[in-house]
Amino acid sequence: MAEPINITHQERFDVVASENAMLRIEVKMRMDREDVMLRRIKELERDIATLMAATVTPPNRAERRRKKESKPS
């Protein structure tokens, strides 16, 4: 039968501390990734708003066009 492995309190503490450090790094990486995604979403929303503003015909111009189309030539 194998002999039991004696783990000191310090060794156990070191393992837990390194696991905690790895988890903190993973959480930070996820938060950074979320920040990047949120920033990209805001950029895309701005781009969409710009495109929508550029493609909408101003009401007065559309009105003038309708008047021209309704006049007999």
Give the whole-angstrom CA distance, residue 28 versus residue 72.
Answer: 69
**Rounded to two decimals, what is the model's pTM?**
0.51
pLDDT tens profile 5-23: 788 888 888 999 999 999 9
Count the domains in the chain. Answer: 1
Residue 10 lies in a domain: no
Residue 55 lies in a domain: yes
Place of tokens 């004696």: 6
Residue 50 lies in a domain: yes
Parent domain of 54:
38-68
Residue 27 lies in a domain: no
Q: What is the mean pLDDT of the chain?
A: 85
Residue 73 lies in a domain: no
The pLDDT score that the predictor gives to residue 39 is 97
Residue 14 lies in a domain: no
Give the whole-angstrom CA distance, residue 61 versus residue 42.
Answer: 31
